[in-house]
Structure 1
Amino acid sequence: MIRLAANLSMLFTEHDFLDRFAAAADAGFHGVEYLFPYAHAPERVAEALRDSGLEQVLFNLPPGDWEAGERGLASLPGREDEFRGSVVEALRYAEALACPRVHAMAGLLPEDADDEIREAHHATYLANLRFAASEAASAGRELLIEPINTRDMPGYFLSRQDQAVAVLESVGADNLRLQFDLYHCQIMEGDLIRHLERLLPHIGHVQIAGVPERHEPDVGEVHYPAVLKRLETLGYRGWVGCEYRPAAGTRDGLGWGKPYGLVS
């Protein structure tokens, strides 16, 4: 059975953040994810979860200076102490929110990155993920990495599925898993069903959005009913995060999710 989680950084933005939980529950969602909870005390977010009867399924580690354009710290040489602090902070929130998994964003390469710079980022990434996975394991959490397309996020260090799998194998931590975003994969590589079949043992979380505009999943070039059906028959029992930007109001566009229990 496909279980859908609302991404509250993109859905229900017509409401204040803490009010989006109730709006998501009212629309038939049973889980939520979002980019970052850190603007709110964990107790306030936990209260919103309890009041709405929702499960927290995912959020990201602190990404550095997001407003200045930073997109994660995990691969950035010289920022190791800051990354370690971000792991501690994320796990503190994960404990308060009973969240089983957190995502470590890799960060951006410099525009003029040569092979030496790329290798330095790669070595830093592996070392930081080993630390983060160990800390997450001690806290009973999974750590995720996600390839992100370089059209939406130019210069992002991790952009392809095979690159991510090689990282997983190099780190060798049982609780380090793949965050498989079908939107990003379609833009970079396509062949979604074959990717799911091959990568399922590595996948800890799935996300969806319409391609190419990143609107509702029933608009664009991907036939999500077939993809989700295949995901279900493969035996995936995790969550599917709805990380898309509604073309209009969130509820107005939820008709695509009626077969999965959503209410428009």
Structure 2
Amino acid sequence: MGLRFSANLGFLWADRPLPDAIRAAKAAGFDAVELHWPYETPADEVKAALDETGLPCLGLNTLRGETNGLSAIPGQTREARAAIDRGIAYAREIGAGALHVMAGFAEGPQAEAAFRENLAYACEAAPDLTILIEPLNRYDAPGYFLTTTGQAVVLIDALERENLKLMFDCYHVQIMEGDLTRRFGEVRRAVGHVQFAGVPDRGPPDAGEIAFDRLLPALDWDGPLGAEYKPGEDTDVTLGWMSAFR
């Protein structure tokens, strides 16, 4: 089977109402979609567009608030779990498969304890969903709690929850760790989703320092690969990479 791609509608067709963005992804030839923070759009409208197009929704994020997430913020347990509950409910309403639990800007042992407790809560509250955690690079998200795949895998191993997985975003991992092919192989057992974008500007993936046309087929991953890049212009104009990569 050739490569399959998911359109991240947090960036692609972000100028359109979410149901129309889903339809645009279908028309462009994507195999799935994924969302950032869809909560302002009624779930039944999103579900109707998904049903109409036949595209699966791979996942969405918990609310980020003012701290880029809440689940690693000490003293914010109630707020963090409210965001988790809201994300779980929305995911179930639209039939999404995963929820990315955002950690937030925090550091230290108390932050780690809070994150572990809230991730355990999410995993137990939604055994039907994959709970994802994603390292973000320190340049785009200075102060974010989770920054490397190694840190994420330690958390995943410690919590021992079957539905807790790593979001391997090639863009963030390249900036923080590099050596993407080898690093992916080292953490493959923990990976729950893969995303990509051009480095260093997070633009279209057919520009920048990574040869995604060679990297992506080399990864041991048969799920849809998430295109999470900033188009910088009309999304449709930037999609030449998709047929070229396939």
- Report the secondary structure of 1:55's partner residue: coil
For 1:185 and 1:29, the matched residues in 2 are separated by 24
Once residues 33 and 97 of structure 2 are traced to their aligned partners in structure 1, the CA distance between those partners, rounded to angstroms, is 12
For 1:118, the equivalent position in structure 2 comes to 108
The answer (yes or no) to whether the contact 2:213–2:245 under 8 Å persists in 1 is no
Matched, 1:253 2:243: no
Point out 4+ residue stretches in structure 1 off by more than 2 angstroms: 13-18
Q: Any conservation in 1 of the 2:213–2:244 contact (CA below 8 Å)?
A: no
TM-score (norm 2): 0.96
* Count of residues in correspondence between the two structures: 245
Stretches of structure 1 lacking an aligned partner (at least 5 in a row): 110-116
Match of 2:140 in 1: 152
How far residue 91 of structure 1 moved from its aligned partner, in angstroms, is 1.3
What SS is found at the alignment partner of 2:99?
strand
Matches within 5 A, 1:106-255: 106-109=103-106, 118-137=108-127, 140-231=128-219, 234=220, 236-255=221-240
Give CA-to-partner distance per residue, 1:110-159, whole Å, 9 cap, x none: xxxxxxx611101111111111111121xx11100000001001100000
- Quick one: which amino acid aligns to residue 258 of structure 1? S
Q: For residues 197-224 of structure 1, what are the alpha-carbon distances to aligned partners after superposition, in whole Å with 9 as ceiling and x for unaligned?
A: 1111110000000000111101000010
The corresponding residue for 1:53 is 54
* Deviation, structure 1 residue 104: 0.3
Match of 1:113 in 2: none
Partner Cα separation in structure 2 for residue 186 and residue 49 of structure 1: 32
Task: Return the letter of the residue paired with 2:79.
Answer: E
> Is 2:105 the partner of 1:105?
no
Task: Give the whole-Å Cα distance in 1 for the aligned partners of 2:40 and 2:235.
Answer: 23
Tell me if the contact between 1:30 and 1:53 (Cα under 8 Å) persists in the aligned partners.
Answer: no
User: Any residues of structure 2 matched to 1:6-17 within 5 Å, and which?
Assistant: 6-17=7-18
Give the corresponding residue for 1:114. Answer: none
Q: Could you give the per-residue CA deviations for residues 72-100 of structure 1, whole angstroms, max 9, x where no partner exists?
A: 01101111111111222111111111111
Please state how far the C-alpha of 1:36 moved relative to its aligned partner.
Answer: 1.0
Structure-1-length-normalised TM-score: 0.89
- Check the 8 A contact 2:138/2:144 in 1, yes or no: yes
What is the match of residue 82 of structure 1? 79
Distance 1:4 1:28 in 2: 9
Over residues 201-250 of structure 1, what are the superposed CA-to-partner deviations in whole Å (9 max), with x where a residue is unaligned?
1100000000001111010000101211111xx2x222211100113211
SS in structure 2 at match of 1:225: helix
Q: Secondary structure at the match of 1:173?
A: coil
Q: CA RMSD in A?
A: 1.3
Query: Residue 260 of structure 1: CA displacement?
Result: 5.4
Following the alignment from structure 2 to structure 1, what is the Cα–Cα distance between the partners of residues 208 and 244? 19
